[in-house]
Chains A and B, each alone.
Chain A
Amino acid sequence: MTAKQLLLSTVLFFAGSGLWIKQLYAAEINGAEEINVAVASNFKPVMNDLVAHFQQQSGHRVKLSFGSSGKIFAQIKYGAPFYIFFSADQAKPIALEQEGLIEPNSRFTYAIGTLALWSTKKNFVTEELLRLKSGDFNKLAMANPKLAPYGAAAVEVLDHLSLTASTQPKWVQGENIAQTYQFVSTGNADLGFVALSQIIDKGHSNSGSIWIVPEAFHQPIRQDVVLLKRGKNSRAAAELLQFMRSGEAKKIIEAYGYKTLTSTSKTIPITTPITTPITIPITMKNPEV
């Protein structure tokens, strides 16, 4: 390296660091932050939508990591750099709370899932549930009840209908609700208990047949969010959590087929068993907010 090159690279190095420091400084002035947030995979489409709105309003940047709640739980326990964790259930946030890994009193329910019995075949699912009752189907897909709240709810529904014993030999379990959806959408399982949000998101609401399970048939599928210790002093994290409780955020969440705590049943289009085929307007996905 000649003296000239050395001089040039030194100048470039300092100029580069200067720019970087200037940017950091600018970020400080504006109060804009960048935060890492972990989100259960089933909430991915909604979260992307929510974060787009939040970033536009606040100027903060949110980096989302998606995964199963169980894996995210393990990662947080062993030091993953997340500020907030949106779980697909209530059990993992409660476990983190008990282990002292979250900010006290930060846990709340941000969405309540809606369970639906779905088939890609027309008239396969009817209000009378004739197919399910007579056993006239090849497989019944559900999420693993041990791991996924939608799976546990599906078993509760079958218990409620006294169909657990008769259908059990035909159960196939997805590790999560996304895989359960695949089992049905690829036609490998005639029937499956999936999340209403998936059917709405994929625009499948007007194909096949669907029965939206009445709320009374199972415990609510509550999805909780927690502020983690690492996010304690972050203004962006606090603002994102505040945004999640806003009417604007709830409107978006409900448009994807979830319920929220204050809204309960009245904002969801269908709360009673309905006959097929039903049509949920796809425009719901992009509400005017």
Chain B
Amino acid sequence: MSFSEADIAAIWLTLKLASTVTVLLLIIGTPIAWWLAKTQSWLKGPVGAVVALPLVLPPTVLGFYLLLAMGPNGFIGQLTENLGWGLLPFTFWGLVVASVFYSLPFVVQPIQNAIESLGDRPLEVAATLRAGPFDSFFTVVLPLAKSGFITAAILGFAHTVGEFGVVLMIGGNIPGETRVVSVQIYDHVEALEYAQAHALSGVMIAFSFFVLLGLYGFQRKQTSFLSPRGV
């Protein structure tokens, strides 16, 4: 089983994309998850629904509207052009933005659940000990909700690796820039190069299996050791 230079470039690009997206998602997703977990506002329902939309929408539909929104006549496109960044489609950062949208529920929901299950008590205790909001977030919430954050990071990463429809719609198949593994496999299949498709798919299946195995192994350990009270 040997890989062409293009296959290896696609693997690297995919890992780079998924890592970048995961870091950004944790930064963006955490405040959203926090707000959703704590708020009493009537907006909780609508915002939660918008965050979950990518779970329901077909990726090609999402990709098509991102292409329109990021284009010269779309609101994102006009914003990025006014900021002097140019247009996002067909660029690595365009894929990053699209993937952040697409994988958002996979990161927000585990964190939200973890924060909700903490309850208000630990934060009230921290407040009586005069911990500021940031202090109590990093010393109380983060350690206690650790499993939620790790689950979120792994799911966000894995989901971005498996992304296809959105990338296909806005990527433009540029080697080293937007041609990720899933697109490369698709190209092999369409070109009837089944041997190469099998090889690359094999790598993807093995990778996904071990990531998920690690995730479930980790979750089991968490429940058996850290939550003796069965939380």
Contacts and interface: CB of A to CB of B under 8 A. Distances in A.
Interface of A: 68, 70-71, 73-74, 92, 95, 138-139, 141, 144, 146-147, 171-175, 179, 182-183, 186-189
A169 to B, nearest CB: 9
Contacts of B189: 70-71, 74
Given A182-B64, A186-B67, A172 B173 contact: yes
B71 interface: yes
B87 interface: yes
A70 B187 CA distance: 9
17 contacts: A70-B190, A73-B192, A92-B192, A138-B87, A139-B90, A144-B187, A146-B187, A173-B174, A179-B169, A186-B68, A186-B71, A186-B73, A187-B73, A188-B71, A188-B87, A188-B89, A188-B90
Given A70-B189, A139-B172, A188-B89, 16 more contacts: A68-B190, A70-B190, A71-B189, A92-B192, A95-B192, A144-B187, A147-B187, A147-B191, A171-B172, A171-B174, A172-B90, A173-B174, A179-B168, A179-B169, A183-B172, A187-B71
Contacts of B174: 171-173
The 5 closest A-B pairs by CB, nearest first: A172-B172, A70-B190, A173-B173, A187-B72, A186-B71
B72 A175 contact: no
Contacts of B70: 188
B101 interface: no
Nearest to B190: A70
A172 B170 CA distance: 10
Contacts of A92: 192
A141 B173 CA distance: 10
Contacts of A183: 67, 89, 172
Contacts of B168: 175, 179
Given A70-B189, A188-B90, A141 B172 contact: yes
A92 B191 CA distance: 9
A75 to B, nearest CB: 12
A283 B70 CA distance: 34
Give the secondary structure class of A's interface: mixed
Contacts of A146: 187, 191
Interface of B: 64, 67-68, 70-73, 87, 89-90, 168-169, 172-174, 183, 186-187, 189-192
A174 B171 CA distance: 9
Contacts of B183: 175
Contacts of B68: 186
Contacts of B73: 186-187
Contact of A173 (B67, B72, B172): B172
B220 to A, nearest CB: 39
Nearest to B170: A188
Contact of B67 (A68, A95, A147, A188): A188
Given A71-B190, A139-B90, A175-B168, A188 B72 contact: yes
B84 to A, nearest CB: 14
A184 to B, nearest CB: 11
A194 B139 CA distance: 58
A30 B71 CA distance: 54
A183 B67 CA distance: 8
A147 B187 CA distance: 7
A175 B73 CA distance: 23
A179 B190 CA distance: 15
A33 B204 CA distance: 44
A139 B171 CA distance: 12
